[in-house]
Chain A
């Protein structure tokens, strides 16, 4: 039998709250430390304990990071989904199952079955915590079956239980029990194996939310105002966790404030207050929180208050699927709040970009005096991704057009808070407490001097200037990442975490003889290169993880008329991280329809 090396998917079915996440992360980390290109997806329920959880580990020498099309190795520990998980397996699949599970067995002769008395083995170590230990036993079994390096496993355990010697020892013992059971009682019948790979550049694993949190610190965030919500809480908590190390002086005093607000409305209000006062304020939330913040978002746009909002998106509408991923807040962010608005949205697709936009967001907010959104998603934010390291900001903090000194202030012929002195739509501001040009900021109509006005020309001119200001920002925002084919037949425009599936989609399409170019949008409003990309290609597909094709809608509206007809939407979402084949097939279907 030919061995199948580093190219298969393991699905681990457990119950939430049983410690399976630690076991799964140890498995993932040990593979990663062997140099095997690997990705992990945690499909967890909106629950603390008891509901089913699946963890998908995909090994791929090609570097594919999307969940694969099928499961090759199934670990069955959760009786609640036993039959369902078993039935879903294709013939030839492998099942590693806890044979101590009451009333459950595996009776399929078309699959390879490895029964392991996981509960009994776990009880040997400590009956009181047998349930927790059960999970690490299957990691031991997998290690033995697949050939995972023991040193990598042990260092992964040490990383997972940093400094907790007892936990490290207990888990290593349990791994050993799993391995030994496998050696003594099971005969390897499957073809799957792991082989170490030499990694060109050293990498580490990190979640997008932690990367964005670190980025915020390197942006000098001064106020974090937040309200807990999945999947963004770990972004806020990431910021909090690094304050002692990065933002505290020798006396233990911090250079930033954290306020857990009473709700998302208040969190947004605090962010605006911080921006108004001259500071760098941010919040981290998800779609439902952004829904609640709409009123303040309009105020920030209209009164021109620098403010930063991170939206780690999840599945909507309403409470939706709170622990699943989607790109469905694009339209809401871009045009947030009532009235005519337009907002700058930064869209990271990698953990490096989460970090970079974490600090850049503040520079954009202060430069353009407007709300800035970071749009990440659950997949990017809460799963671990390979990273070569973060790059220190290459420029000093951009504090924008703030007049801080009296002599600078006096050099203005006329000073008006909303006066477009430079013709770029960005006015100058003075700060509360400075004594210079005090005004009453307001969400009502105002003239260039900042005084209440209902005059038609004041309103009209103000709205035109605001549009120009955001429009001018386009080419100062991150440009799209282009990977173009010479043919320029089909171009795919996509965004965010789809980055992690696009190469596999591209390869599946190429198998059919279709060569496609890629354009990953990294900010809204669209960079001018996006339009140029569309112009260069015969047919353009806008690929996104939602139902309605929100990015497509925005692109269609903003493109010149002659380009609109060549742009088509492929939008799909079922709550799962994007599986390449589903999107590839839909692209092919759409192209077929276009031809007709």
Chain B
């Protein structure tokens, strides 16, 4: 025991300090939206009381995909190849379905080179959290437009973008994705609640996070700059997350209307209505909200769409209950009698 008086360290439900969830120092540009998201990941995993080593950090290639080095240092991770993180995650999941797969990707990784894999992971309702750190430009290659750049938006150098963007949330809703949210790296509270909810979801949870690139796309003419997003964010609702290990009574009940959504692990996300009420079970309403925002050159944030009814990939695979990783070798390899029987049948 030290002689110094013990400093009060906040612990989570597993009695772990937040330090157990941090990673190495970031090498991104100071002020990068991605670093804010990394901090949110640390907070959400800590507050949700997830054992850090039971998380798998997955990423592709790009500024965003470098970030797994900056959070959850006690978790294994795989910084794969450009746009192919969903397939690697799917293969890992088939072997060990008990880990929480936390994928981080960017707009180049997800909306261009990897859009096919994103689509098919959604189609399989692969059980994972998929964060897109979306800034509208390729950062590591020094500022080319990506496929999510808004029409009329202008980055620091070069002409304005005139090519129609791909809205990953609209795409995901159309594909039947079971959890679709959009947020902003500057909206820490909302993003944290959405991420915690996504971690409690069984199935594919997409969070498209507008995350400004301070170096190449943070000028006033850019529709993905801090200034622009702050001015033009349309928040669907305030979001609060109530973990399954916390009695609901302790949570302050908001005065206005709210909607509670129960997640697969028994946790709740509470959506407090701001103006018009948004029903996350209504895909048409979600698409309308996205379309209206685009028309008004705004960014709509919140839990756009949610569906707890679809089976996730694990149920489709028809596997034994324990993760395949834990099936003993003697069970994986059929016994000798089975081969003797096959040989005999072939010979008959």
Q: Which residues of A pack against B, CB within 8 Å?
A: 202-204, 206, 214, 217-220, 222-223, 225, 245-247, 249, 252-259, 261-263, 265-281, 295-296, 299, 359, 387, 389-390, 392-393, 396-397, 399, 430-435, 438-444, 452
Interface residues of B (CB under 8 A from A): 51, 53-54, 56-57, 68-69, 73-81, 84, 86-96, 98-99, 116-117, 119-120, 124, 317-321, 324-325, 327, 329, 331-334, 336, 338-340, 342-343, 346-347
Give the contacting residue for B94; candidates A253, A274, A397, A430; CB below 8 A.
A274
Q: Tell me which of A219, A266, A435 has the highest count of chain B C-beta atoms within 10 A of its own C-beta.
A: A266
Please give me the residue from chain B that is nearest to A219 by CB atom.
B333
- A225-B90, A249-B320 provided; 20 other pairs, C-beta below 8 A? A204-B346, A222-B94, A255-B327, A259-B91, A266-B120, A269-B84, A269-B117, A270-B87, A270-B90, A274-B94, A277-B92, A281-B91, A281-B94, A359-B333, A432-B92, A434-B53, A439-B77, A440-B69, A443-B81, A452-B69
> Which residues of chain B are within 8 angstroms of A434 by Cβ–Cβ distance?
53, 76
With A249-B320, A254-B318, A440-B57 already in contact, the answer to whether A279 and B333 are too (CB < 8 A) is no
Chain A residues with CB below 8 A from B51, complex form: 435
Given A273-B89, A440-B68: A399 and B76 interface contact (C-beta under 8 Å): no
A245 to B99, CA, bound (A): 29
Q: Which of these, B78, B124, B347, contacts A389 with CB under 8 Å? A: B347
Interface centre among A203, A219, A277 (most CB of B within 10 A): A277
Question: Are A222 and B95 in contact, with the CB atoms below 8 A?
Answer: yes
Which of B81, B324, B329 is close to A299, meaning CB atoms less than 8 Å apart? B81
Q: Which residues of A contact B87 (CB under 8 A)?
A: 225, 261, 265-270, 273
CA distance A202 to B345 in the complex (A): 12
**Given A433-B53, A438-B73, A262 contacting B88 (CB threshold 8 A):** no
CB distance from A404 to the nearest CB of B (A): 10
9 contacts between A and B (CB under 8 A): A204-B347, A270-B88, A270-B90, A277-B93, A279-B96, A399-B329, A433-B76, A435-B51, A438-B75
- CB distance A443 to B338 under 8 Å? no
Q: Are B336 and A392 in contact (CB under 8 A)?
A: yes
- For chains A and B in complex, what number of residue pairs have CB atoms within 8 angstroms? 208
The 9 closest A-B pairs by CB, nearest first: A273-B91, A269-B87, A220-B332, A279-B95, A270-B91, A435-B53, A432-B76, A273-B92, A277-B95
- Least distance between B116 CB and chain A CB atoms (Å): 6
Chain B residues contacting A219 (CB-CB under 8 Å) are 333
Identify A277's interface contact among B86, B91, B317, CB under 8 A: B91
Q: How far is the CB of B129 from chain A (nearest CB, A)?
A: 16
Query: With A204-B346, A273-B91 in contact, do A279 and B325 touch (Cβ < 8 Å)?
Result: yes
B residues in contact with A387, CB < 8 Å: 346
Is the CB–CB distance between A278 and B95 below 8 Å?
Answer: yes
**A438 and chain B: residue at smallest CB distance:** B76
State A442–B66 Cα separation when bound (angstroms): 10
> Are A444 and B94 in touch, CB under 8 angstroms?
no
A252 to chain B, nearest CB (A): 7
Residues of B within 8 A of A280 (CB): 332
**Chain B residues within 8 Å of A220, by CB:** 329, 332-333
A295 to B87, CA, bound (A): 13
The answer for the CA separation of A509 and B321 in the assembled complex, in Å, is 60
Closest to B321 in A: A253
Q: Are B347 and A262 in contact (CB under 8 A)?
A: no
Instruction: Report the separation of the CA atoms of residues A225 and B87 in the bound assembly, to the nearest whole angstrom.
Output: 10
Residues of A within 8 A of B73 (CB): 438
**Which listed residue, A255, A275, A430, A441, touches B320 by the CB 8 Å rule?**
A255
Contact B79 A272 (CB under 8 A): no
A59 to B347, CA, bound (A): 21
Does the CB pair B320–A223 fall under 8 Å? no
A399–B333 Cα distance when bound, in Å, is 13
Which residues on the A side are within 8 Å of B81 (C-beta)? 269, 295-296, 299, 443
Cβ A269 vs Cβ B90 within 8 A: yes
| Contact residue among A246, A275, A397 (Cβ-Cβ distance under 8 Å from B338) | A246
Residues of B within 8 A of A262 (CB): 116-117, 119-120
Q: Which residues of A contact B74 (CB under 8 A)?
A: 435, 438
Tell me if A256 and B57 are in contact (CB < 8 A).
no
The smallest C-beta distance from B226 to any residue of chain A, in angstroms, reads 28
A296 to B88, CA, bound (A): 10
Q: Given A266-B120, A438-B75, does the pair A257, B317 have CB atoms closer than 8 Å?
A: yes
- Which chain B residues border A218 with CB–CB below 8 Å? 333-334, 339
C-alpha spacing A399/B54, complex, angstroms: 22
A222 pairs with B84, CB closer than 8 A: no
Complex Cα distance, B346 from A530, in Å, reads 35
Provide the residues of chain A in CB contact with B80, threshold 8 Å: 269, 272, 299, 443
Please report the C-alpha to C-alpha distance between residue A348 and residue B53 in the assembled complex, in whole angstroms: 41
Measured CB to CB, the nearest residue on chain B to A225 is: B91
Q: Given the complex of chains A and B, what is the CA–CA distance between A438 and B329 in angstroms?
A: 24
Q: Is the CB of A266 within 8 A of B78?
A: no
In the complex, chain A residues whose CB is within 8 Å of the CB of B93: 273, 277
Q: Judge whether A222 and B117 touch: CB under 8 Å.
A: no
Residues in chain A near residue B86, CB distance under 8 A: 266, 269
- Contacts A431-B76, A433-B56 given; indicate if A246 touches B94 (C-beta within 8 A): no
Instruction: From B321, B324, B338, give the contact of A222 (CB < 8 A).
Output: B324
Closest Cβ of chain A: how far from B51's Cβ, in Å?
A: 8
- Measured CB to CB, the closest approach of chain A to B332, in angstroms, equals 3
Cβ-defined contact, A444 with B91, below 8 A: no
A272 CB contact (under 8 Å) in B91, B319, B338: B91
**Bound form: Cα–Cα A439–B79 in Å:** 10
Residues of B within 8 A of A299 (CB): 80-81
Within the complex, what minimum Cβ distance (angstroms) separates A140 from chain B? 25
B79 & A259 in contact (Cβ 8 Å cutoff)? no
| Chain B residue with Cβ nearest A299 | B81
CA distance A299 to B94 in the complex (A): 20
**A299-B80, A390-B342, A433-B76 are known contacts. Are A223 and B94 too (CB-CB below 8 A)?**
yes
Q: Is the CB of B78 within 8 A of A397?
A: no
Inter-chain contact A390/B339, CB cutoff 8 Å: yes
Distance A274 CA – B331 CA, assembled complex (angstroms): 18
On chain B, the residues within 8 Å of A295 by CB distance are 81, 84
Chain A residues near B54 (CB-CB < 8 A): 433
Note all chain B residues with C-beta closer than 8 A to A440: 57, 68-69, 76-79
CB-CB nearest in chain B for A255: B327
Most B CB within 10 A of own CB, among A219, A220, A245:
A220
Q: A214-B342, A279-B95 are in contact. Are A269 and B88 (CB under 8 A)?
A: yes
For B126, give the chain A residue with the smallest CB separation: A259
Docked complex Cα distance between A253 and B116 (Å): 30
Contacts of B95 in A (CB 8 A): 222-223, 257, 273-274, 277-279, 281
Q: Is the CB of A253 within 8 A of B76?
A: no
